[in-house]
Chain A
């Protein structure tokens, strides 16, 4: 699927051809260079990037408005006039659907005095009327050129002599919106690469998230209700946790694993791995993309769906697995790639058990608002919906027996890194350093071990530096076009082979 705007020129309708005269420069110079704070070669990252407010402001300015961000799911706005309130970095936005069925992302702030035109979490309307002075913005393409444009201005004649240029004063619109199988992403940067280029071959993980359990393309929707909660942690702890850190599971989640809340019931693993099929991590490798994305597994790590305590669920998911296997084998696709994974910078997800999306919205250097959505197959029967919904709620979110313990770590790791002395000492990211493995995926490498996931974090922070130091988009594209980790692996392997030949 491609960008869906077809009517009007999104770049022209609500913005003048020249940059606004009084606007801040689009990319102000960073006030602190962050590159020296991330030592990828030695696997060290300064704590400053997790606690410093100036660096946080640079992230808001240089990273979030220039990246593709997850805004919401298309199934949250199924009908014309539906809207869902979301955030993109520092800014509140509205995900809307117009009368032609197309989705838009609008800045939720009146162009007159900035009032939030909608304080609702969701709803249905064909226009947003600002409560302050009643400027109204239509999302009905029949009234305005492009949904989000200014439609009604009280006292247009007496206050503005009819001269106000309504076409220039519509809600600020994200110039680039992409609906990927129901997952709606947007970016503020018209110079950003296309979505497909931004995600690269990481899209296989997005596919496994968005496709149904039986492989039906885009066959998913979200359960109604988004969990939203505040944590006193830097947002990057959240991204990093799902990016490839399965290392934390044994310690952090010892208590939930001891209880057993997964498909198999008490005493069985919480993700439903089948122990009789070679253990839960045999053959598993992390996958790290030069683009910054990372996954906790690899596509060839094919983990069948779980065995459930309830036979009818086992039968249902066995059928789904078989159907998906047949379809993907025919396409020459491996069956793995369920995550957990993080799409740079702040969308995390898992495409299996559970199947869920998380966004870590940045509030301050030390505070984050976490949102979690849960996905289900559109055609799932009630008994499957019921089981999944209850499993998701006891697993994830603030009440989830797994996620509760994550927040304890993220919060107190952040708090204990605020000290003057603590800040002088870097975090360690040396897992599997110099032991990365080649991948058949473009712009990606693997870890050499199922657990050693910090290869993913090193690539994530390398990409983070490039964005936060405000590298122009063309240079960002160029730096990601060639994965310079690959020749290093090849050199190492050649040296190892030569060494072996000598001995």
Chain B
């Protein structure tokens, strides 16, 4: 076979730079998973201020556009590029703070009445361990139902870079690959 459909072709799926043992890696994954589930719960309980505390000051949130491109362009052009091209989101923590402020105005009509949201985080695995940072791969399914029959299901792959801060973790970088090219939801007024 010739050609490739992945920029990751030939790359290791896991890198253990810190040299942890298998048992230590199991503990680490359990610890990281618990953190990400707690984080999802804070979002779904709309405890936004507490949730913001879990984001590092240098946090970066990126959701590129996905495009339909020919075979030979998939690796280079299937997703729009962070920092230079148009994405659904590509922003620092400060903009996420603005979004929380908007949600808390009570007159943000896109979320008034508030939506019912569940963040499912699954397929969790460590991609890279370089303590104090770890890179975690997962799948997300974000379900939103609002008003009466308005329902959105957003699914895709997520990569998080987490950083140990004291006894807990913070999210440093989150990249979501949403499996849609045309967004079938009318807006993205929730955090995905």
Contacts and interface: CB of A to CB of B under 8 A. Distances in A.
Mostly, the B contact residues are loop
Contacts of B102: 255-256, 258-259, 401
Nearest to A392: B86
B153 interface: no
A224 B186 CA distance: 22
Is the interface on chain A under 10, 10 to 19, 20 to 34, or 35 or more residues? 35 or more
Contact of A120 (B65, B69, B83, B98): B69
Contacts of B81: 224
Contacts of A409: 109
Contact of A405 (B86, B108, B184): B108
Contact of A225 (B85, B99, B107): B85
A411 B186 contact: yes
Given A230-B186, A369-B182, A389 B86 contact: yes
Contact of B188 (A120, A258, A404): A404
A228 interface: yes
A226 B80 CA distance: 10
Nearest to B188: A399
Contact of B105 (A231, A254, A390): A254
Contact of A389 (B67, B84, B186, B188): B84
Contact of A224 (B68, B80, B105): B80
Given A398-B187, A408-B109, A409-B109, A123 B73 contact: yes
Contacts of B108: 255-256, 404-405
B89 interface: yes
Interface in B51-72: 63, 65, 67-70
Contact of A259 (B70, B83, B98): B98
Contacts of B189: 399, 404
A119 B71 CA distance: 12
Interface in B71-115: 73, 77, 80-81, 83-91, 95, 98-99, 101-102, 105, 107-110
Contact of A398 (B70, B83, B101, B185): B185
B105 A259 contact: yes
Contacts of A260: 98
B173 to A, nearest CB: 16
Contacts of B86: 223-227, 374, 389, 392-393
B148 to A, nearest CB: 10
Contact of B109 (A229, A261, A393, A405): A405
Nearest to B110: A404
Interface string A457-485: 00000000000000000000000000000
**Max chain A CB contacts within 10 Å: which of B77, B107, B147, B184?**
B107
B25 interface: no
B85 A223 contact: yes
Contacts of B70: 120, 123, 125
Interface string A402-433: 01110111011000000000000000000000
Nearest to A258: B105
B181 interface: yes
Nearest to A266: B98
A259 B106 CA distance: 12
Give the 4 A-B CB pairs with smallest separation, nearest first.
A225-B86, A255-B108, A229-B183, A399-B188
Given A224-B80, A230-B182, 16 more contacts: A125-B70, A224-B81, A226-B86, A227-B88, A227-B183, A230-B185, A230-B186, A231-B186, A252-B109, A389-B84, A393-B87, A394-B91, A401-B102, A405-B109, A405-B110, A407-B110
Interface of B: 63, 65, 67-70, 73, 77, 80-81, 83-91, 95, 98-99, 101-102, 105, 107-110, 147, 150, 181-189
